[in-house]
Chains A and B, each alone.
Chain A
Amino acid sequence: NAGVMQNPRHLVRRRGQEARLRCSPMKGHSHVYWYRQLPEEGLKFMVYLQKENIIDESGMPKERFSAEFPKEGPSILRIQQVVRGDSAAYFCASSPPPGAGGNYGYTFGSGTRLTVV
């Protein structure tokens, strides 16, 4: 029973390039969350998605950032025209569908560390 899978583990991009971060939720989980962790800080919520639908994107920067969770395949966090300030660890988590119960402590992936040079 694989956990939440994120790849790549490390990603280096030059300023102006695009970064694509992938997240495959746990089996049976239909909801995905993305969080960003800047150095020496806690995790900050970015976006909450279910398949083919964005539920809450209140934490997403207005420009350059987008997220999707298609019917088939992993969830993708896309950052266009990256800048040095985008350097951070990006974590994905998943949870079961509503009403499925659980302990409400959802499972995190190992994160993708993005470095912009």
Chain B
Amino acid sequence: AQTVTQSQPEMSVQEAETVTLSCTYDTSESNYYLFWYKQPPSRQMILVIRQEAYKQQNATENRFSVNFQKAAKSFSLKISDSQLGDTAMYFCAFMKPLGGGTSYGKLTFGQGTILTVHP
């Protein structure tokens, strides 16, 4: 079974600065996906960024980027130029695709990190 660990229950950052959220996972699988989801006070789960395990290049989406270290089983999220709207709970998640990789699978989530961006 897979496990996902987020060791930072809470983080804070000043507006416009950079912050990094940590995530480690444990799996024996070789083919999998990793995700960061954002959950603002509205409770909506919003996909921030994803990474395929077979890709060595780190994923980037605008101000969000990841540092994927497959051997170390580490998947951190870097938020640059932090904005007040980034204030939310952030969850790291792991997915093993089914059906030889053609089908989605269930997500295993970490405990979450509450990020507060201060003006």
CB within 8 Å of B: which residues of A? 31, 33, 35, 41-45, 48, 56, 59, 89, 91, 93, 95-99, 102-108, 110-111, 113
B91: which A residues are within 8 A, CB to CB?
42-43
Is A95 in contact with B104, judged by CB distance below 8 angstroms? yes
Is A103 in contact with B50, judged by CB distance below 8 angstroms? yes
Q: How many A-B residue pairs have CB under 8 A?
A: 60
Known: A41-B111, A44-B109, A104-B95. A91 touches B104 (CB 8 A): no
Give A51 to B113 CA distance when docked, in angstroms.
35
Is B106 in contact with A31, judged by CB distance below 8 angstroms? no
B42: which A residues are within 8 A, CB to CB?
110
Known: A41-B111, A42-B91, A103-B50. A108 touches B44 (CB 8 A): yes
Q: For chain B residues 17-61, which have a beta carbon within 8 Å of chain A?
A: 33, 35, 42-45, 47, 50, 52
B44: which A residues are within 8 A, CB to CB?
108, 110-111
Known: A43-B91, A105-B50. A48 touches B107 (CB 8 A): no
A56: which B residues are within 8 A, CB to CB?
106
Give A42 to B95 CA distance when docked, in angstroms.
15
B110: which A residues are within 8 A, CB to CB?
42
Give A110 to B112 CA distance when docked, in angstroms.
18
Is A104 in contact with B112, judged by CB distance below 8 angstroms? no
Give A59 to B99 CA distance when docked, in angstroms.
20
B47: which A residues are within 8 A, CB to CB?
105, 107
B43, B50, B97 pick with most chain A CB within 10 angstroms: B43
Is B107 in contact with A43, judged by CB distance below 8 angstroms? yes
Q: B47: nearest residue on chain A (CB-CB)?
A: A105
A59, A93, A105 pick with most chain B CB within 10 angstroms: A105
B74 at the interface (CB under 8 A from A): no
Is A42 in contact with B99, judged by CB distance below 8 angstroms? no
A43: which B residues are within 8 A, CB to CB?
45, 91, 107, 109
Give the Cβ gap from B60 to chain A, nearest Cβ, in Å: 14
